[in-house]
Amino acid sequence: MSWRNFVYTLVLLVAFSVPLGAQDKKQGPPKRLAVRAGHLIDGKSDKSLDNVVIVIEGDKIVSVTLSGPAPAGVEIIDLSKYTVLPGFIDLHTHVLLNGDITADDYDKQLLKQSIPYRAILGARNGRIALENGFTTIRDVETEGAMYADVDVKTAIQNGEVPGPRMQVATRAMTPTGMYPLLGYSWELKLPTGVQYVDGADGARKAVREQVMYGADWIKYYSDRGYQIESDGVLHSMVNFTDDEAKAIVDETHRLGKRVAAHAIGSDGIAAALRAGVDTIEHGVGLTEPLMDEMVKKGTTWVPTIMVVAYVAPGRGGNWTKMVDLEKAAFQKARKRGVKIALGTDAGGSDWRELNEAVEFDYYVNYGMTPMEAIQSGTIRAAEALGWSEKLGAIEPGKWADLVAVSGDPLKDIKELQHVKFVMKGGVVYKDETSRH
Ligand SMILES: [Zn+2]
């Protein structure tokens, strides 16, 4: 090595060792802390446990021990007067939407708000969800805001804004003309609430495109035009041909993603099940044979009762009866063993008005035990997301996503609407406890 090369090498070594050293120092060992829980609902056990110590390292839970001492020299978060639960999961949200009881509410958002403005509200809505205890959401389409859900998700992931973990569906799909905006002059070039997709090849291309831009899920509209017919069943008009729907599902699965189908009437649900979707959204018109089909196929039902009930009075028509039909379907589906995982359709309501945890309340009113309802919004929902290894329960190896309430949600499920403490990935985002 020449003298000049030697100096050059030395300069390089110094130049690179400084930032590397600094980086090492900054990262340090992962932060350890312990949470002392007065009561613990862990998402898996049938009963709550008392006096539990949860040790967290970095963003993960490393141990859960009954009534032992907290490890020495570790910051302790004392929630001994509280009930601690896994962070809640909402499988059906629209952070880019702020209420659409009427077509007018909906059209105004697409026509008068820019996508950047809607994305700012989307970030705000993410924060609302997190502060309500929902540390994870699956956002199932942007309603005309293109791929802005991917941006909200990325900003949260990068720590730019507080919000829940997200899986996103981007634009959703219907065939041409089967989703708003509709009814305007043909001379106008208007945005659409979804991506119009036609033909099996068109379907495959649309799936590839949405996945390319960041879709974790593909969402499509299986039906529209809901009518209660003489058999007492809620029927509907099916949007896609079987060929098209199967192409959507096949291509999505081929790319390692999952499919959510909006399916309200029995015909739309049947078509979605024939296509092989992973989750049925809404599912008001579920019949017993369709429930059995779901059990056989392992399809998850995401009922979204909160928003169906919320929009019904304003929409009138069949919607009020649909609330009753869904209640009856819920009771039967639970008995028949359909996998029911919590989803609210938040965004169909004003985010500032309705707390997503109201959905738990409906499930209990409709016949679930409080523990079953909690599990539908924790471990069951994590399974539907393919994240059961990471989420949905408080046990070693899972992300440290915890919430705490002051009362006993097994006695009064409404407690879940008053979350006092929220931790996501080991970081505290809300603390209204009196522990200080
Ligand atoms: Zn929805």
Taking 90 as the threshold, does the pLDDT of residue 158 lie above it? yes
**Residue 362 included in any domain:** no
**Residue 371 included in any domain:** no
**Residue 316 included in any domain:** yes
Question: Taking residues 383-411, what's their average pLDDT?
Answer: 97
**Residue 384 included in any domain:** no
Taking 80 as the threshold, does the pLDDT of residue 20 lie above it? no
If asked whether residues 194 and 181 sit together in one domain, one would say: yes
**Residue 382 included in any domain:** no
Ligand 1 geometric centre to CA of 219 (Å) = 10
- CATH number for the domain harbouring residue 400: 2.30.40.10
If asked whether residues 74 and 138 sit together in one domain, one would say: no
Taking 50 as the threshold, does the pLDDT of residue 36 lie above it? yes
Task: Indicate the number of domains in the chain.
Answer: 3
Question: Taking residues 299-317, what's their average pLDDT?
Answer: 92
Question: Taking residues 139-143, what's their average pLDDT?
Answer: 98
**Residue 380 included in any domain:** no
- CATH number for the domain harbouring residue 165: 3.20.20.140
**Residue 381 included in any domain:** no
Q: Minimum mean pLDDT among 44-48, 135-139, 246-250, 289-293: which range? A: 44-48
Ligand 1 geometric centre to CA of 157 (Å) = 23
If asked whether residues 259 and 316 sit together in one domain, one would say: yes
Ligand 1 geometric centre to CA of 262 (Å) = 8
Taking 80 as the threshold, does the pLDDT of residue 67 lie above it? no
If asked whether residues 21 and 44 sit together in one domain, one would say: no
Report the pLDDT value the prediction gives residue 315, as an integer from 0 to 100.
Answer: 87
Ligand 1 geometric centre to CA of 371 (Å) = 25
Ligand 1 geometric centre to CA of 344 (Å) = 8
Mean pLDDT of the chain: 93
Other residues' Cβ atoms within 10 Å of the Cβ of residue 287: 17
If asked whether residues 93 and 183 sit together in one domain, one would say: yes
Ligand 1 geometric centre to CA of 380 (Å) = 19
**Residue 269 included in any domain:** yes
If asked whether residues 82 and 173 sit together in one domain, one would say: no
Report the pLDDT value the prediction gives residue 10, as an integer from 0 to 100.
Answer: 46
If asked whether residues 182 and 95 sit together in one domain, one would say: yes
If asked whether residues 231 and 101 sit together in one domain, one would say: yes
Decide which of 302, 336, 356 is a domain's last residue. 356
Ligand 1 geometric centre to CA of 94 (Å) = 6
| Domain residue limits at 42 | 32-86+396-431
More confident residue, 315 or 146: 146
